[in-house]
Structure 1
Amino acid sequence: MSTLKNPQILLASDLADGEVLFLGANGWERNHARARVARDKDEAATLEQFGKAEIAANHVVDVYLADVEIGADGVPTPLHYREKMRIKGPSVRLDLGKQAAGGAR
């Protein structure tokens, strides 16, 4: 078991509506705070394997692991700009997505 430089979470896009998804303990979540966190390479490989199976089943697209930091509240927060923007929702239409619903769902 080899540790990762940073913990990681698995992201994808919902095939039906394009919304960003995070793999949680019981399947896909729309709230990154409930994302399952991989802390070593074996856990990360397990997440990736699940994501590939979900692609094959036509449930999601664009599956990948993203580095996160774990806050004092235990919530994983992405380290990179792309994922930071993805958790906020669409940036061109503020009347749509998470920001229209009053925050992360």
Structure 2
Amino acid sequence: MLAVVIMAGSRGPGALAMDRPSSPQGSFKIIPVEETDVPVTYTPPGSVVSDGDIGVSSRVVGFIQQLEVREGQKVSRGDLLVRIEPRRVWRRRFRLNQAAMAA
């Protein structure tokens, strides 16, 4: 602020008057203004925790070979969720078939 006063004072007493436009409408433009809603979004850090649990079970026991869903993905009853390593399942079926044939 001090530098502006010194510069204005160094140009003489009429310096400030000459810098102002002669007409109050000299460099202004009138623009119509409209009222509108501006959407505001905020993404806070954190996580969502469910207040309920859903049990998921398998008909066979085995190692998971591949997950078919991602965390947070919506699923329905009957959707394939995981692929189980087939070797243990085949062995189990084979033994059950042998036991059924022997009986």
What is the TM-score of this pair, normalised by structure 1?
A: 0.18
What's the TM-score, normalizing by structure 2?
Answer: 0.18
- The structure whose residues are more often strand, as a share, is 1
